[in-house]
Structure 1
């Protein structure tokens, strides 16, 4: 059986976890938490980085920092994971779903301005498959209408955006806030795990308070206050040192992991290019302003029937290929709350997109087998 995903272990994870245990501090914000946060701040020039127990938690922290109130409107794509929406629904927001692009599952940037009202507070671009949304256009809209931008960069580690003047910035460093995931299906993992990035430093102090259950505990340990107490809302967003120690082993091998994944992605692309064109199947699209971090390799079939045949054929040969999100605007929970606009491109991806196995230890002969089976269909 070739699974859809297999978590990669560098070999140092258990060594660092044991070291974390021996330090006598497992509850978080210790040695390995600080190592990971410093790594991201230095390597990618992020603002303040705070590890979280999940990307979901990072998004929920961002929603609190944005001071979302009941009735505020938040614009995001319908084609995304439920956590993107849940974080803001929990604060009482109305979600205004945008359609996807014709050439990519990411948000249709051209549609955003028409969705902005006097109640709009936040735009949430989701960098699907690690491919950048048009951040220049989105940030210009945010400036024009005085909105916050919270990047859902769950899949976007080590992927970059190039601005029209030629400058380049890593995804997650452009919006006011951003959220990353280290779930076992991501390029860099810690089982569960995530990170909030605070690029607009006016949110920095409050982010630490929310992170520490609504207390000013961090300020206390820095010697900024002589005692700490409950000063704001918050929750237990801080991960244990065990999660951070596992993540540190992964970060030490980021370049090696990325190089291998990009090689697998390229093998898929060039191996399936002719077949896809012949069968009206769309391969992943990358705009010129975005790099490719090889988070995912997907195919967009021309119909749900074609996708069903493809998944079934691969399964018959012991290969696990899966579809992805179901449009949130048509979900049982939010369908009655949606404003009724048709979002046909989002639905098309829900019905026709299929993801192929992509993980570090996927062998060349396995990639060849997958390609050979697909190209016989």
Structure 2
């Protein structure tokens, strides 16, 4: 509340003030991003990416099907054709081994999503980028403070986006971040960010007046939002330690069910780190997942499934043929997310673990009686 009060008392609560600059500087120094610009949402940051790469009706953008609609929508709005890619067999992330077969002369960019904050194999993605001269965009909405072979996620692709929605590790209610790592996009990104003007350059004293010079929109969050985010960033270490502790407790408490092949727990590849964003289970079927969610709900535990494959959405199927992406569909039917939030106490988490054990114990007893 102190920083929000400071922002209000400063007399400037519109965007690009002191707290905006503090947040952007934090990301540039902490994660070695070339340029960071706060946005009103991760969706807005993705829309800025679509504007920056100048995609249109003649272009194809490769996007994972198992993701939130914003990942695709930003490019659809510019008229580009979305080419959906399947997930890995054992992880919701995009299967990088299937990407090359999707590339055509019209392909302009590959968008990767680091699901649950766990890195995609970025070496292979960047190899394809160099081979075919493609832009790589990291949708790192869930991936703050997560790494690929020691490199911060968001620092590897040409562009990257983050979310500070209330469901994320670090929040501002709504909010996002655009990261620019490619020199060719640096100047124009700031212009698009500032409603198509060179206003930011004017306030830095680089030009003696500013005007309308390009397309753009009002992508800046207010200083009130930025001040809230700044307080979160100051406590990032404590937030991350707590979330990873909760994640580890879930894993150790439920590992025996994975060992018995009753369910699957998240897998973290050796090249990736875990930022404690999300803990999920993989059930063996849609029926089991539905029963588990209902069983948890009876105990007042709010567990939910996650994405529905975008290639099966009504919007996509209006103008496109059905696709066979079995892994994305499998996660659509079987993945369930468990509660995970900073204020969670040990008693709450132990209750959740116990109820899940009870659920699978009942299943075992039921099958034993048949």
Task: Report the Cα distance in structure 1 between the residues aligned to 2:5 and 2:274, rounded to whole angstroms.
Answer: 35
TM-score (norm 2): 0.96
Task: Report the Cα distance in structure 1 between the residues aligned to 2:10 and 2:325, rounded to whole angstroms.
Answer: 52
**1:124 partner SS:** strand
Matched, 1:82 2:69: yes
In structure 1, the residue matched to 2:270 is 288
Q: Contact (CA 8 Å) 1:96, 1:338: kept in 2 or not?
A: no
**How far is 1:340 from its partner?**
3.1
Q: Contact (CA 8 Å) 1:77, 1:100: kept in 2 or not?
A: yes
Equivalences, count: 359
In structure 2, the residue matched to 1:8 is none
In structure 2, the residue matched to 1:106 is 93
Matched, 1:16 2:3: yes
* 5+ long unaligned stretches in structure 2: 360-370
**2:99 partner SS:** helix
**How far is 1:338 from its partner?**
3.6
Matched, 1:126 2:113: yes
In structure 2, the residue matched to 1:149 is 136
Q: Contact (CA 8 Å) 2:138, 2:157: kept in 1 or not?
A: yes
Matched, 1:336 2:323: no
In structure 2, the residue matched to 1:262 is 244
Matched, 1:230 2:212: yes
In structure 2, the residue matched to 1:201 is 183
Matched, 1:49 2:36: yes
Aligned counterpart in structure 1 of residue 253 of structure 2, from 244, 265, 271? 271
Task: Report the Cα distance in structure 1 between the residues aligned to 2:314 and 2:23, rounded to whole angstroms.
Answer: 38
**1:375 partner SS:** helix
In structure 2, the residue matched to 1:186 is 168
In structure 1, the residue matched to 2:362 is none
* CA-based RMSD: 0.8
Matched, 1:71 2:58: yes
Matched, 1:30 2:17: yes
Task: Report the Cα distance in structure 2 between the residues aligned to 1:82 and 1:337, rounded to whole angstroms.
Answer: 16
Aligned counterpart in structure 2 of residue 362 of structure 1, from 344, 353, 358? 344
Deviations 1:202-228 (A, max 9, x none): 211100000000011111111222111
Task: Report the Cα distance in structure 1 between the residues aligned to 2:32 and 2:338, rounded to whole angstroms.
Answer: 33
**2:50 partner SS:** helix
In structure 2, the residue matched to 1:252 is 234
Deviations 1:92-126 (A, max 9, x none): 11000000001100101000000000000000010
Deviations 1:260-288 (A, max 9, x none): 00000000001001123325311001110
Task: Report the Cα distance in structure 1 between the residues aligned to 2:198 and 2:306, rounded to whole angstroms.
Answer: 40
In structure 1, the residue matched to 2:124 is 137
Task: Report the Cα distance in structure 1 between the residues aligned to 2:245 and 2:22, rounded to whole angstroms.
Answer: 29
Task: Report the Cα distance in structure 2 between the residues aligned to 1:338 and 1:174, rounded to whole angstroms.
Answer: 32
Deviations 1:121-154 (A, max 9, x none): 0000100000000000000000000000000000
Deviations 1:132-185 (A, max 9, x none): 0000000000000000000000000000001xxxxx210000000000000000
In structure 1, the residue matched to 2:366 is none
Task: Report the Cα distance in structure 1 between the residues aligned to 2:321 and 2:293, rounded to whole angstroms.
Answer: 33
**How far is 1:339 from its partner?**
4.3
Asked which structure has the greater RCO (Cα within 8 Å, sep 6+), the reply is 1
* 5+ long unaligned stretches in structure 1: 1-13, 163-167
